[in-house]
Amino acid sequence: MIDVGIVIVNWNTVELLRECLKTVFQSEGVRLRVVVVDNNSPDNSAEMVARDFPQAELIASKTNDGFSIANNKGLRLLGFGQPSAPDAPRYALILNPDTELPPTALRDMVKYMDNDPQMGAAGPKLILPDGSLDMACRRSFPSPEVSFYRISGLSRLFPNSQRFGRYNMTYLDPDVETEVDSVVGAFMMVRRETIDQVGLLNEKFFMYGEDLDWAFRIKQAGWTIRYNPAITVLHVKRAASRKNRRAQAEFHRASLMFYRMHYQATTAKPMHWLVMLGLYLTGGELVREEMKKPTHQ
């Protein structure tokens, strides 16, 4: 049986994708299937994959439908769903094209998750090119309270506080293995049985928020999510989104959607209106259009 089915969604990062795939196919001690979903890149990414990595399965989309839809295309091709196909890999991995894996990273993550059958998802320590920690690799859910500490600057003023530093869990040593609310979709390994229970990514999210929403549903279903710093992966963060002006607006739209899906019903009215005002003022036209829609269920 295949151990890990990997989905790499790419948009316009051909050289980074090439390096990512090189490291993926140099992985040791693990059986893989790799699906690359190209979201209509203008830089010939799909042609590069077909030419240089024939062992990868390629979905060359004619449109850019966003991160969630593209990942789900790859996950379905691998056999994941409700229920998964009998020959689906034991684990799914959504992986960004701007990552580079050590040869034993996948093997070690599979062993790590095999040792705890209640672990629904896990992620590694992500390091940026300058050697610093990618803070998003271990996160708390952005509840109204946690988000307020972030927006107000309290999380930056008091990063070692267990109360104020919860957004990126800055109060914890980055080398401490721990249970978290969420890991990041740049490298998120999920157990097949977990996907059977909670489903695939929510396709209402274009980009950003879909990994947090998936993690929220995973935790609600009773699984744990863990951060494993024994495995280190390089992440050239926002390599694609830096080139996409829509990306920043989508971040704020995703924040609004996540709040409405998971927190609005239990948030007191005064706090609710503060949240909505903050998103309205910072989110731009895309958020304002989203606010006109009915509340997401």
Tokens of 81: 């769903």
CATH class of 4-139+180-242: alpha beta
Work out the pLDDT band at 297, boundaries 50, 70, 90: very low
pTM value surpassing 0.85: yes
Helix ranges (DSSP H) in 159-268: 192-198, 210-220, 246-262
pLDDT digit string, tens, across residues 53-110: 999 999 999 999 899 999 999 999 999 998 999 999 999 999 999 999 999 999 999 9
pLDDT tens figures, 179-201: 999 999 999 999 999 999 999 99
Helix H or strand E segment including 227:
strand 224-235
Q: Judge contact between 255 and 148, C-beta under 8 A.
A: no
- What residues have CB less than 8 Å from 296, skipping those under 6 apart? 204, 257, 260, 261
**Per-domain residue ranges for the chain?**
4-139+180-242, 246-291
